[in-house]
Amino acid sequence: MNLLGWMTVALLAAAPPSPAPDALEREARQIETMLVAPCCWMQKVSEHQSEAADEVRRQIRVLLTAGQTRQQVLDAFAAQYGTRILVEPPDQGFGRLLHLGIPAVLVLGGAAFLVLIRRMGRRPPGAEPAAPPATADGTYAQRLDDELRKLD
């Protein structure tokens, strides 16, 4: 039997009065959305269909029935499986980098994009917009008229 299993047995032996069944079920479903299924590490326990996810669901309800709080249940699973089981990494160590780094990258990327757009929109000082070469004898206008007549 693993650590979480022994904790479950110990908690059941000294279980205080359990909360109302509907409140317990709501809390259990909330916790299921905060844990990743330990069989594939891809989906939340609330969405995953496997024996491992079913076992996690059962353990959540046992721990809640024993009077544990949401944080205590999450800590128990993190102690058994590591922080990898948590959908949202804790705000410490590498997790803090994720919490702070992603918004920082988005802000810096947006600022760089705005600077790039502004620079592309500016013309160098003294530069005139490109215009067709003007000729004194109007050959450009005559050539344009000829080509437009060919299109008709």
Q: Beta strands of the chain (E only): which ranges?
A: none
Residue (of 85, 92, 93) closest to 32 by Cα position: 85
Q: Which residue has the tokens 């804790």?
A: 90
Domain residue ranges in the chain = 3-85
Mean pLDDT of 123-133: 63
CA 89 – CA 128 distance, rounded (Å): 55
Cα-Cα-Cα-Cα torsion 17, 21, 22, 27, nearest 10 degrees, comes to 60
CATH superfamily, region 3-85 = Cytochrome C biogenesis protein (1.10.8.640)
pLDDT in tens, 72-121: 888 888 888 877 778 777 666 665 666 677 788 888 999 999 988 888 87
Asked if residue 138 has pLDDT above 80, the reply is: no
Residue (of 68, 71, 67, 73) closest to 17 by Cα position: 67
Q: What is the pLDDT of residue 134?
A: 61
In DSSP terms, which residues pair with 86 in a beta bridge? 35
Task: Show the tokens assigned to 131.
Answer: 């215009």
H helix or E strand, kind and range, residue 129:
none
pLDDT in tens, 9-66: 555 555 555 556 788 888 888 888 888 888 887 788 888 888 888 888 888 888 888 8
pLDDT in tens, 79-93: 888 777 787 776 666
Q: What is the pLDDT of residue 20?
A: 63
